[in-house]
């Protein structure tokens, strides 16, 4: 017969690593498994448990004083949990979704009075970037609180070495520039940096800002030579050739680059010159995602294949052309070690389709076998 553990005891007192899915009422279970010996914790859970992520963090801070790594897949919606985490003396890695809407800028500005993440070396920060109007004077779009959090870390001397920021939404140019500036402030210390911007697909009624293609909004990131990932899933981000030249020179170690959203009808169509500039300037590139107005010509793709060793290539174009079969086979031969994904729409523009050709030892045979299927599905 199994005996229930005594109140105040934990089930696994020597546990070092924990992966736990949060649920609606987790206090009792967490009290049984949060051992003081834990060093690595991952919390997962859907949107319905967002409010309980804050409770879980508070319990962690109370029970696991010497925690070193924490990942929280649900949203953090209150500042209290962050403030308690900031006092953990050994926390080295933090991966969170920070979606606090209560204006906490004043509270964060006072963090210099105490230790604030004294051992944190790696931060992965996800933020909702919707520029909604303030409901009242006490609320704020989460992205602005995230800017305040980064500034507080910088002011307090948090020793960040690795920083990854993921924005989900559509921030204004000014707000985007502000958070990029906050990221760039850590440049002297950083050894690795990643930036992701997932812009929602615009509806016909949504207006695209007149200066949306201006690289000025992300210009502070050009000060970060250790940038290894730059993904902008925006339907209207089209850097000019001078802009691309600036980006490739600023980020000599770039391994992942996405410009535009390949799975959506996009105005972010690049030219042959764009592709050549990217390839020549980014020899360390492993993954590339771009939109083109037509299937890229052989010269452009040859330049890309000669200067890079891609393991993944995402190509999107708005119109199916008659030479699609030849292009597909040609691309497969140029990038035999890469997984190549083609994105487009039906001729009537009503259906997005995607076909992926995975790298194999006999890539050409695979290509020849699926090309007819690709063509028929694209026209169905």
Question: Which band of pLDDT confidence, cut at 50, 70 and 90, is reported for residue 81?
Answer: confident
Q: Is 215 helix (H, G, I), strand (E, B) or coil?
A: helix
Q: Positive or negative, the Cα torsion across 169, 175, 177, 180?
A: negative
pLDDT, tens digit (0-9, with 9 covering 90-100), for 209-233? 544 546 888 999 999 999 999 998 7
Number of Cβ within a 10 Å radius of residue 319 = 12
What six digits make up the tokens of 249? 């020179």
Contact 266, 260 (CB under 8 A): yes
- Predicted confidence at residue 347, as pLDDT, reads 44
Q: How far apart, in whole angstroms, are the C-alpha atoms of residue 236 and residue 233? A: 9
Question: Which band of pLDDT confidence, cut at 50, 70 and 90, is reported for residue 358?
Answer: low
List CB contacts of 205: < 8 A, sequence separation 6 or more.
none
- Predicted confidence at residue 374, as pLDDT, reads 45
- Predicted confidence at residue 305, as pLDDT, reads 79
Phi, psi of 287 (to 5 degrees): -135, 130
pLDDT, tens digit (0-9, with 9 covering 90-100), for 244-292? 889 989 999 999 998 876 665 555 557 667 777 788 888 899 998 887 7
Question: Which band of pLDDT confidence, cut at 50, 70 and 90, is reported for residue 295?
Answer: low
What six digits make up the tokens of 195? 């930036």
> How confident is the prediction for the chain on average, in pLDDT?
77
- Ranking 3-12, 42-51, 242-251, 306-315 by mean pLDDT, the lowest is 3-12
Residue 323 above 80 pLDDT?
no
- In sequence order, what DSSP letters do the residues of 286-318 get, joined into one string? -EEEEEESSPPPHHHHHHHHHH---SEEEEEES
Q: Is 5 helix (H, G, I), strand (E, B) or coil?
A: coil
Q: Is 161 exposed, middle or buried (0-12, 13-18, 19+ CB in 10 A)?
A: middle
- Predicted confidence at residue 215, as pLDDT, reads 83
- Predicted confidence at residue 343, as pLDDT, reads 72
Q: How far apart, in whole angstroms, are the C-alpha atoms of residue 90 and residue 66? A: 6
Q: Which of 215, 121, 210 has the alpha carbon at shortest distance from 160? A: 121
- Predicted confidence at residue 59, as pLDDT, reads 87
Q: How far apart, in whole angstroms, are the C-alpha atoms of residue 349 and residue 375? A: 15
Residue 28 above 60 pLDDT?
yes
Average pLDDT (135-147) is 74
Average pLDDT (164-179) is 87
Residue 320 above 60 pLDDT?
no
Q: Which of 180, 183, 263, 167 has the alpha carbon at shortest distance from 214? A: 180
Q: How far apart, in whole angstroms, are the C-alpha atoms of residue 114 and residue 157? A: 11
């Amino acid at each position: 017969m199994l005996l229930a553990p005594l109140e105040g005891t934990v089930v696994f007192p020597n546990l070092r690593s924990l992966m736990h899915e949060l649920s609606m009422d987790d206090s009792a279970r967490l009290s049984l498994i949060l051992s003081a010996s834990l060093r690595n914790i991952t919390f997962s859970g859907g949107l319905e448990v967002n409010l309980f992520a804050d409770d879980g963090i508070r319990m962690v801070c109370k029970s696991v004083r010497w925690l070193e790594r924490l990942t929280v897949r649900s949203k953090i919606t209150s500042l209290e949990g962050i403030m308690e985490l900031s006092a953990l003396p050994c926390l080295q890695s933090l991966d969170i979704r920070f979606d606090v809407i209560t204006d906490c800028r004043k509270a964060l500005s006072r963090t210099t009075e105490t230790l604030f993440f004294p051992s944190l070396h790696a931060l992965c920060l996800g933020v909702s970037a919707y520029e909604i109007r303030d409901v009242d004077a006490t609320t704020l779009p989460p992205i602005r609180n995230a800017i305040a959090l980064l500034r507080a870390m910088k002011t307090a001397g948090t020793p960040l070495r690795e920083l990854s920021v993921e924005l989900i939404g559509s921030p204004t140019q000014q707000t985007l520039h502000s958070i990029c500036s906050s990221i760039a402030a850590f440049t002297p210390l950083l050894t690795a940096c990643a930036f992701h911007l997932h812009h929602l697909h615009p509806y016909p009624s949504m207006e695209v800002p007149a200066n949306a293609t201006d690289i000025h909004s992300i210009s502070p990131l050009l000060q970060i030579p250790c940038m290894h990932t730059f993904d902008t899933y925006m339907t209207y981000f089209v850097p000019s050739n001078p802009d691309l030249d600036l980006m490739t020179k600023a980020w000599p170690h770039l391994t992942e680059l996405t410009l535009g959203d390949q799975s959506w009808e996009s105005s972010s169509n690049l030219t042959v010159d764009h592709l050549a500039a990217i390839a020549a300037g980014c020899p360390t590139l492993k993954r590339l995602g771009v939109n083109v107005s037509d299937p890229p010509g052989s010269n452009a793709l040859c330049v890309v294949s000669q200067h890079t060793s891609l393991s993944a290539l995402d190509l999107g174009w708005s119109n199916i052309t008659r030479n699609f079969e030849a292009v597909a086979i040609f691309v497969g031969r140029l990038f035999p070690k890469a997984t190549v994904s083609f994105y487009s729409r039906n001729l009537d523009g009503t259906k997005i389709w995607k076909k992926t050709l995975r790298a194999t030892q006999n890539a050409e045979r695979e290509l020849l076998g699926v090309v007819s299927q690709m063509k028929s599905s694209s026209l169905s």
